[in-house]
Amino acid sequence: MSLTDLPAKLKPIGHYIKTAIEHDKRDPVVAYFCRFYAVQKGIEIDSKSPECKTYLFGLMDFLEKQKKAAPEDSPLRNDVVGQSHVENYALKVFLYADNEDRAGRFNKNVVKSFYTAGMLFDVLSVFDEVSEDIEKNKKYAKWKAAYIHKCLKSGETPVAGPLPEGDDEEAPQPSTSGATAGLSSYSQPSPPSGSYPPEGPPSGSVQSWPQTPPQAAYQPPQQPQYSAPAPQDTWTPPSNPSGVALKTEDYQKAMKFCKYASSALQYEDPTTAIDNLTKALKLLTTGKAS
C-alpha cells in the first residue's frame, strides 16, 4: 500500500515519519520504531475521522508486514533488544551533537542532530517509562536545537555547551550521570542529513512507503564462549527470606532495574549499575523497591 498524503490533523507526527524515511536504509530498526511511535501519537490525535483512520490503519499494516518479515532475533520482535538499539543510537547522535556544540562548531548539522536525538528520545517511550537521564537529555537536545537555530538565524554566536546555571532559568541542563559517559568509546554515526525544520510540522506530502518492507539490518552481538560446567545436583532456589509473596508487576520492575543496570555497565558506569541492582535485590527480598 502506498501512503503519500499525511492528513492535516496528523501533521504533528510528520517529523517522526520524515525521520523514519531518512533511516529506512541507514537503520531500518530506528525507522520502524519512529513509525511505531507516530502511530501511537496519531491515534491520540485522531483515530476516528475517515482520512486519519485510513492513514493510521495503512501505517499499522505496513509495520506489521515489516515485523513479520524480520528474522526471529530482530529488535523488531524483542522489545528489550529494540529499546537498547534505539537508545544507543539516540545517545550516539546526541553525543555527536554535544561534542560539536562544546567544541564551538555550530552549523545546521549540529542543529539537526540535536533535533533528531530529541525525537528519538521521544520514541523510547514506546517501550517503557523513560529514565530521568533520558528525559533530561531529551529536553536539553530539543532546547539546544531551537537555541542554536535561533542564534544562527539572527547572526549571534551561540554559547557552547550548557548555559551556566542562573543565566537562564528556563534553559535545561543535560544529564551529568552515566547515561552518556561510556559512549565516547562508541563509533559515532554520521550526522543526520538535511536541514532542521525550525517551525511547524512538514507539509502534508510524504513520500510513499517502500513496497517491500526492508529487513532489519541487525546482527546479534557475539556471546562470550564459556566451557560448560561439570554437572551438578539440581539447584533449588532459596525461599524468600522475608516470606514476601511477589506479584507479576514486582518481577517486571525487578527486570527493569536489571536492564538499567546492564545498560549502565555497557557505559562503564558502576555507580548506576550498583544502584539499580540494589533496587532489584531489595524488591525481590522485601517486595519494596525503595
User: What is the value of pTM for the model shown?
Assistant: 0.65
Cell numbers placing 238: 532459596
Hey, where are the domains in the chain? Answer: 8-164+178-185, 248-286
Q: What is the pLDDT of residue 129?
A: 84
pLDDT at 109: 96
Q: What's the pLDDT score for residue 232?
A: 45
Question: What residue type is 168 in one-letter code?
Answer: D
Tell me what pLDDT residue 166 has: 60
Q: Please, what's the largest Cα pairwise distance for the chain?
A: 73
Residue type, 198: P
| Sign of the CA dihedral with 52 first, then 58, 64, and 66 last | negative
Query: In degrees to the nearest 10, what's the CA dihedral of 96, 102, 107, 113?
Result: 30
Q: How many residues does the chain have?
A: 290
- CA-to-CA distance for 37 and 42, rounded, in angstroms? 8
Q: 15 in helix, strand or coil?
A: helix
Question: Residue 258: its pLDDT value, please?
Answer: 80
Q: Which amino acid is at 124?
A: L
Contact in structure between 192 and 113 (CB atoms under 8 Å): yes
Residues of the chain with pLDDT under 50: 1-2, 178-189, 198-237
The model's pLDDT over 149-182, given as tens digits with 9 standing for 90+, comes to: 999 999 999 999 998 766 565 778 887 654 444 4
CB neighbour burial string for 110-123, b if at least 16 within 10 angstroms, e if fewer? bbbbbbbbbbbbbb
* Integer Cα distance of 65 and 28 in angstroms: 13
Residues 6+ apart with CB under 8 A from 143: 171, 172
Measure the CA–CA gap between 32 and 149, rounded to whole angstroms: 28
Grid cell at residue 76: 523488531
Q: What is the pLDDT of residue 285?
A: 81
- At the topology level, CATH places domain 248-286 in 1.20.5
Helices (H) and strands (E) in the chain, counts: 8, 0
> In the numeric block, which cell numbers belong to residue 92?
550516539
Q: Which fold has domain 8-164+178-185?
A: 1.25.40
